[in-house]
Amino acid sequence: MHEEAQEKPLVVICTSDVDLYLLLDHVLQAASFVTHLAGGVDEILEIAAHADARAIFLDRRRQSGAAAGKLRALREDSRTRSIPIIALIDQGAERDYVDLLKSGIDDIFIRPMLPAKLVERLTALVAEQAPGAPGSASGPGVVHFADLEMDLITYRVRRGGRDIHLSPIEFKILRHLLQHPEQVATREELKTAAWQGNVHVGPRTVDVHVGRLRKALLSVSDHDLIRTVRSVGYALSNQQSGGGQHG
């Protein structure tokens, strides 16, 4: 890989469709990205071990195996845990859609996909990863709440001095809650913060990811910092009220 290419954001494209890869490679290079073709999860992990991948694109076809299983493998590996992942699925693949959302996907496109929309989404994801990017609260540094701390530069989350591993979606939800402590965030606000208003994401999907975030935070402490406000949303609170309940 040339030095000039290394300065551009790297997108790993996992597909068996060579024509699709060539099309995306052409479009993304024109938008100042660089791409790398991967044939499967093992190749993605190998690329991530030696290069600073900024996003992963999974081409999910009915004949290509379980996309959710691939996603879980990427989310569980330290080399790819924090890298945003986008999937492309077939029309009518409702089962894939639900499974991917539950597994922590960052975004989903439905075939046929407009390449320009992918470029737009990737540009936003890369911008979010930049130090001091808009939406990162007070800019570079560490945000604290109770025994919880979030490093906005390294994307590291710790509670009581212990590391907590979150998916990018869970990280964005927690970041929004940290930016507005003790304030109730509606499901729509959390949807915008984590998925940038993806119209395919519904309230139940938000609830599922908040539940995963809550479980992660409780894995190192018995004190629940997330308060559920019935029919409204969630708040990061150090004092649980009687009206709050797990969601």
- Residue extents of the structural domains in the chain: 3-129, 142-236
Give the pLDDT confidence of 93-142 residue by residue, as tens digits.
Answer: 767 777 777 777 888 888 888 888 899 888 887 876 665 444 444 444 67
pTM of the model: 0.58
Cis peptide before 112 (omega within 30 of 0): yes
Fold for the domain defined by 142-236 = Arc Repressor Mutant, subunit A (1.10.10)
Give the chain's mean pLDDT. 82
CA angle 195, 229, 183 (to 5 degrees): 70
Fold for the domain defined by 3-129 = Rossmann fold (3.40.50)
Give the pLDDT confidence of 166-209 residue by residue, as tens digits.
Answer: 888 899 999 999 888 888 999 999 998 888 766 678 888 899 99
Taking alpha carbons only, the member of 131, 91, 125 closest to residue 195 is 125
- As a whole number of Å, the CA-based R_g of the chain is 18
Q: Which residue has the higher pLDDT, 1 or 46?
A: 46
Give the pLDDT confidence of 201-222 residue by residue, as tens digits.
Answer: 888 889 999 999 999 999 999 9
Taking alpha carbons only, the member of 86, 79, 96, 3 closest to residue 43 is 79
Taking alpha carbons only, the member of 174, 182, 168, 183 closest to residue 143 is 174
Give the pLDDT confidence of 50-102 residue by residue, as tens digits.
Answer: 888 999 999 987 544 466 677 888 888 888 888 888 989 888 776 777 777 77
The owner of tokens 């990017």 is 133
Give the SS3 label for residue 185.
Answer: strand
Helix intervals (H) in the chain? 3-6, 18-30, 41-50, 67-76, 94-103, 115-129, 168-179, 187-195, 203-218
For residue 17, pLDDT beyond 70: yes
* Nearby residues of 85 by Cβ (< 8 Å), 6 or more positions away: 55, 56, 57, 58, 71, 74, 104, 105, 106, 168
Q: What is the mean pLDDT of residues 37-47?
A: 92
Cβ atoms of 47 and 13 within 8 Å: the answer is: no
Q: How far apart are the first and last CA of the chain?
A: 47
